[in-house]
Amino acid sequence: MTDVSNNTTQSTKTFDAEAFATNIARAMETSGKALAAYLKPRETGEVQDRPPTELAEVVKSFTAVADYWLSDKDRASDIQTKIAKGYLDLWGSASRRLAGEQAPPTISPSPRDKRFADPEWKSNQFYDFVMQAYLLTTQWAQDLVHNAEGLDPHTRKKAEFYVNQITNALAPSNFVLTNPEVLRQTVASSGDNLVRGMQMLAEDIEAGKGTLKIRQSDPANLEVGVNMATTPGKVIFQNEMMQLIQYAPTTENVLRTPLLIVPPWINKFYILDLRPEKSFIKWCVDQGLTVFVISWVNPDKSLGTKTWEDYMKEGPLTAMDVIEKVTGEMKVHTMGYCVGGTMLATTLAWLADKRRQRVTSATFLAAQVDFTHAGDLLVFVDETQISALERDMQASGVLEGSKMAMAFNMLRSNDLIWSYVVNNYLKGQPPQAFDLLHWNSDATRMSAANHSYYLRNCYLENRLTSGTMVLDNALLDLSKVKVPVYNLATREDHIAPADSVLYGSQFFGGPVKYVLSGSGHIAGVVNPPSSGKYQYWTNDQIRDISLKDWMKGAEEHKGSWWPDWRAWLSELDPEQVPARSIGSEAYPPLEDAPGSYVRVRA
């Protein structure tokens, strides 16, 4: 009995009031360091605070919603009565529970809502009441927007987006006293979690040079060229826009036609070359492909005037010329990821207009050519917002990568912002080392001229599929693109929605194989066969069909889409040649992959 008693005593942590008081003082002191890190660049003039341009859009959108409800007294009364009834129902339910009766909840969170996964949200009456009050208020606010008649679609979409951002930020899970898990940890550690959290907050504000740069991954053991982007290869060419990497063969023979990968310049290419077991590039090399990859420059002000045309000519077109001289092959298989795919599509249309046959096939990974159904990013696109962004870019010549990264994070703010706020700064738990999220935080800048062209010609005016996009004095027409296309979408994509990619498939003039992968914009693409995860669907029907109807007739295949794509390539062009050495006499290796451009951090 004595041993059991001692073990129980040792394993039970008791609240230490003195330690708690000390830790609270330390947390407050450290929060002062966070404030100092925030103020310092403003005092030195490095950062000049101005009201965010988004604030005007929030006010304008909410004003349109408010005008609808306040313009009619009965309508305003009805909406107030609805929320009042919800609160009264909740109060009645809570009162019955306090009296020991069984009472069903007035509202319940989605089973997929990780914020309220802790059992105490339901077992503890206080937290249950707080959670339901929050959910009722959130539902009411969303209904205000959803049921407001007469709003134009763009204003409604903006209002819905901003309501979600505000309600996500005000969730009770984001505060110490109204998050049961955080409060338990605070009591159990006598507040030590808050000390660690405030220390990380100060470090992250300092790392962001006066703005909060939320760490999503522990950088330990995640270094480009050491733990990631380690597939053997060499940079064989570079200009001021890109480095061209050729990877060393690992098979005796390779496909005769080489592969050129055009990644997005919004992020760095090594998303396709993470750890070896996840690397798409390594897998392609091991599958007998001669792989070339563009590594885009991380532009500064001196490259701010580089246009979409410059990116095309100094990127994929130059790469094709170099590949021809190195391999002797006039044609290449091409692959474009995200906005790199949009660039590839315009390049193909330009080549078709010039009647130049340089491409055997084109593969698009989560890439859009039509922007009618472009999803939540359309919230940021209208004449007013683009003009404001152009004014901001004019001074610096570039769009800072942190701004684009924050826009992407806001599309999934609960997962990519607030979960890290809670874990890092309230629980004091540093994130784990995760290569995908480390890459996600390794943002790049964008040249002002190129980004402006992209926003206006693609998102705002949707010129590529309407046949009105002009590039290098050529009127682009995707129907002239006759090469076979493998068009991959991902089912849960917030950036290039699957229905948008499907709709865009019909504009190409040649055969298109549309494939839908499970998961989202990144995990649905970077899904090695060895992981045995997810699935993909195929269906030959792509014209005049909705995604819902397409799915009804689609065939599901377990696992990764990678082998299906490799088989598709072989069907098009099975001829093989002996494996090629890297570079040539005219293009000797300049440095080891992944090169120096990818190492430049914003």
At 68-77, the pLDDT tens digits run 999 999 999 9
Answer yes or no: is pLDDT of 7 > 80.
Answer: no
Which tokens hold the place of 596?
Answer: 């120096």
Weakest-pLDDT range from 93-107, 167-181, 454-468: 93-107
pLDDT band at 10, cuts 50/70/90? very low
Residue 396, Cβ neighbours under 10 Å: how many?
Answer: 13
d(CA 251, CA 282): 12
Position 438 scores a pLDDT of 87
Q: What DSSP state is assigned to residue 224?
A: B
pLDDT tens figures, 186-239: 999 999 999 999 999 999 999 888 889 898 888 888 899 999 999 999 999 999
Chain length of the chain? 602
What is the rounded distance in angstroms from the CA atom of residue 297 to the CA atom of residue 489?
27
Which residues make Cβ contacts (< 8 Å) with residue 24, sequence separation at least 6? 191, 194
Closest CA to 341 of 225, 458, 443: 458
- Residue 436: half-sphere exposure toward Cβ, Cα within 13 Å: 11
User: Which active-site residues does the annotation give?
Assistant: 338
Helix (H, G, I), strand (E, B) or coil at 577: strand
265 is written with which tokens? Answer: 């310049």
Cα distance between residue 117 and residue 34, in whole Å: 30
For residue 293, give every residue at least 6 positions away whose Cβ sits within 8 Å of its Cβ, in sequence order, or none. Answer: 244, 245, 247, 260, 261, 263, 269, 272, 273, 281
Render pLDDT for 87-112 as a digit per residue (tens, 0 to 9): 999 999 999 999 989 899 999 999 99
**Token code pair at residue 19:** 């330690």
Yes or no: say if 476 and 504 are a contact pair by the CB < 8 Å rule.
no
The whole-angstrom separation of Cα 485 and Cα 42 is 51
CA distances from 254 to 83, 293, 357, 518 (A): 66, 17, 22, 30
Distance CA 448, CA 147 (A): 38
pLDDT (0 to 100) of residue 402:
82
For 287-303, the pLDDT digits (tens) are 999 999 999 999 999 99
pTM confidence score: 0.91
Rounded CA separation 244/296 (Å): 9
SS3 state at 225: coil
The secondary structure of 153-191 as a DSSP string is HHHHHHHHHHHHHHHHHT-GGGSSTT-HHHHHHHHHTTT
Token duo for residue 134: 């929050």
Q: How far out from the chain centre does Cα 424 lie?
A: 20
Contacts of 116 (CB under 8 A, 6+ apart): 109, 131, 173
Q: Which residue has the higher pLDDT, 132 or 6?
A: 132
How far apart are the C-alpha atoms of 409 and 495, rounded to whole Å?
11
> pLDDT at position 420, please?
95
Spatial separation of the C-alpha atoms in residues 251 and 319, rounded to whole Å: 23
**Cα-Cα-Cα-Cα dihedral of 334, 337, 343, 345, to 10°?**
60
Task: Identify whether the C-beta of residue 363 lies closer than 8 Å to the C-beta of residue 335.
Answer: yes
Closest to 437 (Cα-Cα) out of 220, 216, 270:
216
- Asked if residue 4 has pLDDT above 60, the reply is no
Is the per-residue pLDDT at 6 higher than 60? no
State how far the Cα of 22 lies from the Cα of 11, in Å rounded to an integer: 23
Secondary structure (3-state) at 335: strand
Mean pLDDT of the chain: 93
Q: Find the mean pLDDT for residues 323-341.
A: 97
- Looking at the DSSP assignment, which residues form a beta bridge with residue 322? none
